Amino acid sequence: MAAPIVSADAASISALLLLADGRFPDGSHAHSFGMEAAVAMGRVHDPASLHRYIEARLWTTTRTDAAAAALAARGAHALDDIDAALTLRQPSPATRAASRSLGRSLVRTAARIWPGREPQLIDGRPPLQPIALGAVATLSGCGPLEAALCTTHAAAASLASAALRLLGLDPFSVAGVLADLRGPVAEVAGSIEGIASPTDLPTTSTPLAELDPELQATIEPRLFGS
C-alpha cells in the first residue's frame, strides 16, 4: 500500500513553487516542451486551442511526470528505479534530453540551498526533471501531493507562457486559460495518489506529444531549445 500523502505547510509549498516557477533561472524558460512545434503546425493558434492542448498534455505526459515526482517525494524507491521507469515512458530523445538538462539545473540549485543533500543517480547523473523535483520537494518540506501538484501547475504554466511568447496572445486571455484549467491541474495531481511503485507509472500519451519535441528540433529559426 502506498504511504500516506502528507500535506506541507504554506512556507514549504511556497519554496517548492518558487523552484518550479518558469521564471526561476533553472533554464526552463528556454523550453516550450513541444509548444513551438504545435504553434508552427497551426494546432495551437488562439486561447481555445491553447486550452485544449494544455488539458490534453495534463492528462497524458504531465500525469506521468507528476506520478514520477510523487514517487520520488515519497522516498520508498530508489531514484534510479524511478528514473529508469520514466525514461522508458519518454520515447522522444529530445524530451529526455531536455528533461535531463532541467534536472541538472534543479540539482545545481539544490546544491546551493541544501549542500551535500542534492539528488543524484548512482552513476552521478542528474535525475530527469520530475524526479529531481520530487526529491527537492522532500528537501523543502513537501510531500508527494505537493510534488505532483507543483509538476502539473508548472507544466500548464510553462506551456501557456511559451504560447504567449510565440503567438503574442493577450496576456489576460492566457491567464484566463490557466484559471480555467485550475480544476484539471488539481485533478491530475490527485489522480496519481494510488501509484505506489515505478512499474505503476502511467504510460498514457499521445503521438503528437511525443512527435512535437522531435519536430521542433527541425524548425529553423526557432525561439525555444525544445
Integer CA distances (angstroms), 69 to 15, 97, 174, in order: 16, 18, 26
pLDDT tens, residue by residue, 46-104: 999 999 999 999 999 999 999 999 999 998 899 999 999 999 998 888 888 889 999 99
| pLDDT at 5 exceeding the cut of 50 | no
* pLDDT at 4 (0 to 100): 40
Distance CA 205, CA 70 (A): 19
Average pLDDT over residues 9-29: 61
* pLDDT at 167 (0 to 100): 93
* pLDDT at 3 (0 to 100): 42
**What are the φ/ψ torsions at residue 34 (nearest 5 degrees)?**
95, -10
Going along the chain from its start, the domains and CATH numbers come out as 10-17+41-216 (1.10.4190.10)
Distance CA 131, CA 72 (A): 6
pLDDT tens, residue by residue, 201-223: 998 877 777 788 888 778 777 66
Average pLDDT over residues 178-200: 94
pLDDT band of 28, cuts 50, 70, 90: low
Query: Which has more confidence, 188 or 12?
Result: 188
